[in-house]
Amino acid sequence: MEKLDESQFEQRMKLCALRIPRELASAVTRLLRSGHLLDMPRVKPVVEDPGNGNNRLVVLSERIQNPDLSDIPEQVQVSLKQLCNIDVVPYTLTLGYSYWSAGHVAHLNIPDELLPYKDVIAKVIYDKNYPRIQTVANKVGAISNEFRVPKFEILAGKSDMVTEVKQYGATFRLDYGLVYWNSRLEHEHIRLVSLFKKGDVICDMFAGIGPFSIPAGQKGCVVYANDLNPDSIRYLKTNAKINKVEDYIFTYNLDARVFMQTLMSVPGPETKSEPQLATANCSSGEMVCADGQSTSNGNHNDVREIFQKSLNDHSMVGTTAKRRQDTSSEGDLACQEDGNQTKKRNNKKVKCTGPLPVKPWEHMDHVVMNLPASALHFLDCFSGLIQKRCWKGSLPWIHCYCFIRSSETEELILSEAENKLNAKIAEPIFHRVRDVAPNKAMFCLSFRLPTECLKEETEDHMSIS
């Protein structure tokens, strides 16, 4: 048996840390907990200073790379300096080969050159981490199915891919064999959701089991979440209930373009203005109305007809909508967050009855397009999607994930995005998420939807590209 080289599975992260007196650790972490503190599962952000037992090292988020702390808002910097003299030091975090897991499942992606040793690798991980790790699975082959769900080979333990994962104070239940999940994207989920504000309207076009939608709901955002995979939507609904945000998240199981056109359809003058669309139950590839009528993803006209009927059908207002009406006069419906202790800073649960009704065709704040392999191609659905006469406030931020190879440039990706939109993008922001291969990286392209995408005419826009 060949000796296992554990270093092949190690990942070293170059980070910054603040060296502070230990008695100030709680005060400093409170100042940094809004996205500036390292937040990784099973990794403590505050550690003892190996050079001085009276000091502590407060490890900063991987997004903060400048020793001058220019990545941190000036107000936070001022508050830190008022506490004590800040000493910024380099900090290296080493993650071992058994770090990445989802609940009781250790998900591996063993490179070809190490495949002869896959059973050895699996046994070491299983023996070392049991009972926390009860299943060791390796991804096999390229992802080629419609729902982008990888295939796995069970290398050790039980053949049970249903598990629960905890991230940033949220619990996610999933079946690793039916839905897509990547624990390595946790920091990106945190980064993007940190841009959302309480009360924002979020549109999640490729929602999966809810890594963006659930924390957005916990933050008090209204979320319209869609995914083509019916299993993803089933688990998204389950996760919304587990995290007590079902009043904030409205789910759809539609093609992304049909979903956006459905969401942004403006009701006629004879229809009720309440957004009863939000109470539609879309599952198993169908949009289901209260009277049991349904339509498949393939018939776009039927989708629109049922959507309009749902706006007219008073019975569509269910228990959730009634609770909102009953409580709308009770004052502030803001989410109450339990954040009294630093160690519970991310475990904030929504404790109100739900957000006030919104009309997505009049305003939404962010659109998340988390399908990096093809999200760029879906940008064409925004051309003429929003009716200018109905829109209120600023146009939404679009967050479009994509892959960029070493032979490609940001300018090339931007040009492709503008061609799909048929409009010029002003002040685009490229954020490098992670390297997925030696010559390939995942990026998030963020921009305000250009005003040229607004629809001037009043007739409904239902063309499908």
Could you list the residues known to form a binding site for S-adenosyl-L-methionine, using ranges.
Answer: 189, 227-228, 255-256, 370
Q: Which residues are annotated as a binding site?
A: 189, 227-228, 255-256, 370
Rounded distance, CA 263 to CA 350, Å? 25
- Continuous segment of H or E residues that includes residue 418: helix 410-421
Task: Tell me if 284 sits within 8 A of 253, measured CB to CB.
Answer: yes
CB neighbours of residue 227 within 10 Å = 31
What are residue 240's phi and psi, to 5 degrees? Answer: -65, -40
Task: Tell me if 335 sits within 8 A of 352, measured CB to CB.
Answer: yes
Beta sheet of 151-157, edge-to-edge order:
105-108, 135-140, 151-157
Rounded distance, CA 414 to CA 135, Å? 42
- Quote the tokens at residue 253: 């199981």
Rounded distance, CA 278 to CA 403, Å? 32
Rounded distance, CA 335 to CA 230, Å? 30
Task: Tell me if 206 sits within 8 A of 255, measured CB to CB.
Answer: no
Q: What is the DSSP string of 34-45?
A: TTTB--BTTB-S
Rounded distance, CA 179 to CA 456, Å? 40
14-47: b or e for each residue (b if 16 or more CB lie within 10 Å)? ebbbbbbeeebbeebbebbeebbbbbbeeeebbb
Q: Which of 221, 243, 234, 239 is nearest to 354 (CA)?
A: 221
Task: Tell me if 92 sits within 8 A of 12, measured CB to CB.
Answer: yes
Rounded distance, CA 86 to CA 249, Å? 41
317 in helix, strand or coil?
coil
β-strand pairing of 286-288 with 281-283: antiparallel
Task: Tell me if 211 sits within 8 A of 367, measured CB to CB.
Answer: no
Ramachandran assignment for 383, one of left (phi > 0), alpha (psi -120 to 50 degrees), beta (any other): beta
Rounded distance, CA 100 to CA 401, Å? 22
